[in-house]
Structure 1
Amino acid sequence: MAGSLHHPTLGFLEWDDKLAWWVGRIDLEPDHPVDIFISGEGDPPEAALMHVPDWLERIWSRELQYRRWTAEQVESGRWNSEEAMTVEDITNLLQLASINFDSDGEAGLYWGDQDRFYWGHNLVTDVDANGNPVRARIEG
């Protein structure tokens, strides 16, 4: 059974037995904390932890690209279409709020948008195991 632990790169990770994942918080930059959730699925569940720092580095290095790609996907489908916004406006508004890491290398990037696009619903970018954005979606 997995348990809470201190990871040398990720810091303290609390184990959530009900959801079978670790929960932590890291700083993307000063004054910008990002919640992280790491799936404990797999055998052994700790195996996912050895890859997360590399996956996290890939996300950090491509974060602007992911924001822009997401902005392009939602520009015409956002619920607040009466507000004039360019892809650049949306890109600048998005802020990474949390990341869900799956044991297979896929991730879900959850964006803060000041509740302006989907009125309190989560805007998520799904990233495949190679680091490519594959889908932007809303989650209730």
Structure 2
Amino acid sequence: MLRIFPFIWVECRRLYVFQIKHVGDENFKRGDVYLSNHPKAGGSHLPDLTVITPVFISDDSKTPDFFLANRGHHSDIGGLCPGSMPPHSTHLEQEGVVFISFKLVSEGHLNEKELKDILNAPCNIPGCSSASKYCRQFG
């Protein structure tokens, strides 16, 4: 359990279990950091982005000894409208950018290009982030 505010508790075990099954225990490396907000992966809703870090205690560890997680709420992540869960959305992607098990940092190196590609993807969904498309078109 994770205490976010004095009155809000979040169960995080599902986050770790999903990542272990999805990534594979033996595929986590020192310096890796994963980003997730997908409800299937233990997220509550898309604006709650969770950063998950595998921790290796000894140099001999082949698999993580435990995981650390930090969840932060963001007011807008590029959906049909600011916030989340627009009442007229029909697909999860219309609510904003989706990360199910994105490797944000790979062995200590930020995956900046891949992150930018994902963050720019909502403009390819009809109705999402039209302003971004027009900014690129007209400069």
TM surpasses 0.5:
no
- Going by fraction, where is strand more abundant, 1 or 2? 1
- Going by fraction, where is helix more abundant, 1 or 2? 2
The higher-RCO structure (CA 8 Å, 6+ apart) is 2
- Point out the structure with max Rg over C-alpha: 2
